[in-house]
Chain A
Amino acid sequence: MLAENRSVRFSFPNVIQLVKLNTSVFVLALCLALCLAFGGCEKSPAPKFRLNEVEILKQEKASLPQDEHFAESYDEEINAVLTSLFGTPESPKFPYLEGDEDEAHEFVNFDDLKWAAGRVHSDREGRPISGLYREHCSHCHGITGDGAGPTAAFLNPYPRDFRLSKFKFKSTPLRRSPTDHDMEMILRNGIPGTAMPSFRTLPDDEIKALIHYVKYLTIRGQLERMLISELSSLEGEPLMDMSFVPDGDLVAALVKLEADEDSDDEEEVEPTEEQEAFEEQLDYVLNELLLEGPLTRWSDPEDSVTEIPEVPEAIAASHPDHAALVDKGREVFFAKGNCAQCHGETAMGDGQTASYDDWTNDWIKSAGVDPTDKKTYKDFTDAGALKPRAIRPRNLRLPVYRGGGQPQNLYLRILNGIEGTPMPAGATLTEEEIWALVAYVKWLPYEHADKVKPKMVNNKAIAR
């Protein structure tokens, strides 16, 4: 340390002399020195998908004695399985289990994946050749779609981690995948009140490619979480013995296995115990975990879209019945709707403020973690988790609506709830009550703040 300091001091006069001698030579030399020191002269290595260390740590804490870890060989096996099925950020693959006939082609189009993946690259006309995701999304959502890109820690709310397969603003109920149209709306309109910008300047085909790439990252991340949750019960057996797939292609291995099972040929050689264990595990991971899990969940989300009835005319502030509808909404807000418990009696989002969203709850529920005490979760942030932040109920006096401010958007938020958050579904509310709430919520930004909670008698608001 001392020697370094000295050398800096000694070299200082030389630098000044150099500057005096010839500025341009100096600048050139400095640039060269910096270039060699920091960048070298080679291209930086291609980015890789990042292992879900937070999930691994969570599972270790749930199933192993304190401070013990899963064997490191499992990290390699998880990476090997995922690379075999999904490729790399440079060269994506997708597990079409039924080959060209697979219906997954409809929700993850391979040409779109290739277009969205890879490094940012365009032709002479400026038309992108590859790298759409890296150009528009990865700074915040990360190469892996883990919501932990370079800018993530500076944003509030944090960018979405796709790997939990939860999406807030959609036309389908909880735990149903959003439709392509839902995702398109988010990309086109952005999410007001957050760092998510609008991408409305992008052409339709680029938006579609990004949607398919987001689904690809989501499915990959979901399977990764499923594989990690298998680790605690492997009894020392390999997660997937890749030595049985010399070409590294698990999908081809499954196709071959299923073809062998179907054929009536005489058994040629009795398979070894390891071979049988591998075949069983291959079938389990691809058919039971992947196919029955994420792949099924992403097929036909349109089937579960919630129908929105016609918007009542009284929603318009100019309508003679508007005031009555707003009054009705206010009553529901404070009584049957339970809204004030979280959004507060002023509706400024100051009711229940100590909740966390599901992306945070996912790991802060681990034993011994207190999200308000850094010491108790440092190992998680070291593993890549972002500092836990409480989720604030929306301040309804600001006319900023993340999932869109049309009455239909608000109707969906109230009827279905918001996935990944404490916002519940208004399951007991009638259609009229929901529209009344929509009218009240839309009116709140214009209402005087002293006119809040009405006098309630037997859960009915009485006139002032």
Chain B
Amino acid sequence: MKSNFTLALLLAAIILPQSLTAQEAATESKPAAAADQGEWGHLTGTVTVDGDVAAAKEEAVGDHADKAACLVDGKVPLDDNVLVNSENKGLADVYVIMYLKKKKDPAIHPSYLAKKAEPVVLDNVNCRFVPHATFVRTGQKLILKNSDAVGHNCHITTFNNEHNPNIPANSETEVKFDTEDSRPGNVTCDLHKWMDSVIFIRDNPYVAITDADGKFTIENLPAGEWDFQFWHKKVGYLKKLSIENQKVSKKGVTTVTIAAGETADLGTMKLPAKAIK
């Protein structure tokens, strides 16, 4: 019996480091074990805009030497900082962030371990960043890709992090971050000034970005009372966001109780169009 156990340990020691470092495994699985098994819930909701938003302008491509490579279907693309779904008024690219001021770090669900081992990809396509909003965890690999036939640089500037790799045509490179930020920062290209997108770097995985319908879901949160913060590049903190039966602070923070095995639904939240700058 004892030798079986030793064998298992040995096997684990051989297999584990191949997918992740032993240290990561320890820090990721420990809190999960500490929390009662199965005490996990989910959070979902949809951010919509109340009112009309000004139509997006064309990107300032002008007479740039690379213009030919920067057109989409032969046309200058529109600015993609504010994307509102014309059908349900959903606002894309809103960050929903577990807000931790004064709170202990949350337990991390084991499912996030595999997710962290997968790299996040930020591509340059037709002189636009794809996707427009990115989330990457500290220690996680971010692949900066260039699918264009022209060179780019990927200038990431957040409060605590900065990278600015040059990415030649049709190539890729990777970066990692070791310090988290408290709010998202910018990604720009110094060669094509209209290119701009957002990135957020966080230790814990409890961050979501609203999709083209304004919908978001954060899975496998530890049960309990947590604060969540809403942020969008052209709004800042969504302090004017109205959520049914919920208070939202000037920092765009609302408190939600996550019950084990259940999904807390914040429903259709409304942001006045005036809040978008």
Contacts and interface: CB of A to CB of B under 8 A. Distances in A.
Interface in B155-178: 155, 157, 160-169, 171-173, 175
Contact of B166 (A235, A354, A358, A424): A424
Given A62-B236, A352-B190, A367-B277, A424 B155 contact: yes
A419 B162 contact: yes
A256 interface: no
B138 interface: no
Of the listed residues A280, A367, A427, the one surrounded by the most CB atoms of chain B closer than 10 A to its CB is: A427
A336 B250 contact: no
Contacts, number: 84
Interface residues of A, number: 35
B135 interface: no
Contacts of B161: 175
A359 to B, nearest CB: 12
A342 B153 CA distance: 11
A355 interface: yes
B164 A233 contact: no
Contacts of A293: 160
* Most B Cβ at <10 Å: residue of A232, A233, A354, A419: A233
B240 to A, nearest CB: 12
Contacts of A91: none
A355 B192 CA distance: 10
A280 B166 contact: no
Contact of B237 (A233, A336, A342): A233
Given A175-B162, A233-B237, A422 B190 contact: yes
Q: Is the interface of A mostly helix, strand, loop or mixed?
A: loop
B88 interface: no
A329 interface: no
B115 interface: no
Contacts of B160: 175, 293, 297
A54 interface: no
B193 to A, nearest CB: 8
Interface string B51-92: 000000000000000000000000000000000000000000
A334 B171 CA distance: 16
A337 B163 contact: no
B251 interface: yes
25 contacts: A63-B236, A174-B163, A175-B160, A233-B249, A235-B250, A235-B251, A284-B101, A288-B101, A338-B153, A341-B151, A341-B191, A342-B190, A355-B190, A355-B193, A417-B165, A417-B166, A419-B162, A422-B164, A423-B164, A424-B153, A424-B165, A426-B165, A427-B165, A428-B165, A428-B166
Interface of B: 101-102, 151, 153-155, 157, 160-169, 171-173, 175, 190-191, 193, 236-237, 249-251, 277
Interface of A: 62-63, 174-175, 232-235, 280, 284, 288, 293, 297, 335-338, 341-342, 352, 354-355, 358, 367, 417, 419, 422-429, 459
Q: Which 6 A-B pairs have the closest CB atoms?
A: A422-B190, A427-B165, A338-B151, A424-B153, A175-B162, A424-B166
